[in-house]
Amino acid sequence: MEEKPKNKSKKNKKQKHQHPNDQTTKPATEYSFKPCSDVKGLRFGGQIIVKSFTIRRARPLEILRLLSLPAANKPPTLASASAFLPTNFTILAHHAWHTLTLGLGTKKSKVVLFVFESEGMKAAVERSWPAEIPLGEVNKKLIRGLTGCEMARFKFRKGCITFYVYAVRKTGNPGFPCADDLRTILQAVVALKDFIDHTAMLALPNQRSLSYAPPLAVAH
């Protein structure tokens, strides 16, 4: 009986899955901009309670520290960027929820960054945005709420923190004038190591930033 030759390219050959962190930093002309009504928002899976957890607008230095960018000696200004970070309540709530559910509740937080096509656009949008917002309202108020705009979305998982980055421009505008800021942020997020425990992000009375710890006084 004649044996059939084996076909190596058979169905059992699994397709390579692209991890979200494998997104490359393309030229601005190649970014996939979509109307705000069509762009994907934040995802929560079955963890409905997480929608009530809040995020707050970050200060400029906090953005640099979160992305491990230099805060001295000509730091990048990222003047077109706006970021929302987990509040103290959210970080503590995540840990409480994880404990109460015997490890079934997620400990993962979300960070949302918006990069606008101009500093003027950022300033105008921020005037209408709240300083603090529940995660469950981000899609409706911060993403879908930007009428007349289109976005390109990027998602990165970094341990217990998921980064959502949105490039924002007016509908129909060609290119992206603040592509340098967007590229800097995307490259910085890709280069970050996984966050194992995000309690370090707590803004304690003597630690008002994400990773900055004031120097200890040493008696001589």
Q: Mean pLDDT over residues 105-111, rounded?
A: 78
Q: What percent of the chain has pLDDT over 70?
A: 71
- CB contact at 8 A, 173 and 121: no
Q: Of the candidates 175, 65, 165, which has an alpha carbon nearest to the alpha carbon of residue 115?
A: 165
55-84 burial, b for 16+ CB within 10 Å, e for fewer? bbbbeeebbbbbbebeeeeeebebebbbbb
CA–CA gap between residue 78 and residue 178 (Å, rounded)? 9
Is the pLDDT score of 220 beyond 50?
no
Is the pLDDT score of 211 beyond 50?
no
| Residue 200 CB contacts under 8 Å (≥ 6 apart), including other chains | 210, 211
Instruction: Give 21-32 as a DSSP string.
Output: GG-----GGGS-
Which of the residue ranges 85-94, 153-162, 194-203 would you say has the lowest mean pLDDT? Answer: 194-203
Distances (CA, A) of 105 to 47, 52, 168, 196: 7, 14, 32, 16
Q: How confident is the model at residue 202 (pLDDT cuts 50, 70, 90)?
A: low
- CB contact at 8 A, 152 and 31: yes
- Token pair, residue 96, equals 């409480």
Is the pLDDT score of 12 beyond 70?
no
Residue 205, Cβ density class (10 Å: 0-12 exposed, 13-18 middle, ≥19 buried): exposed
Q: How confident is the model at residue 156 (pLDDT cuts 50, 70, 90)?
A: very high
Q: Mean pLDDT over residues 92-100, rounded?
A: 76
| Residue 66 CB contacts under 8 Å (≥ 6 apart), including other chains | 58, 83, 85, 111, 210, 211
Which of the residue ranges 1-15, 79-93, 114-128 would you say has the lowest mean pLDDT? Answer: 1-15
Is the pLDDT score of 204 beyond 50?
no
Is the pLDDT score of 162 beyond 60?
yes
Query: Residue 94 belongs to what H/E stretch?
Result: helix 88-100
pLDDT at res. 205:
40
pLDDT at res. 109:
84
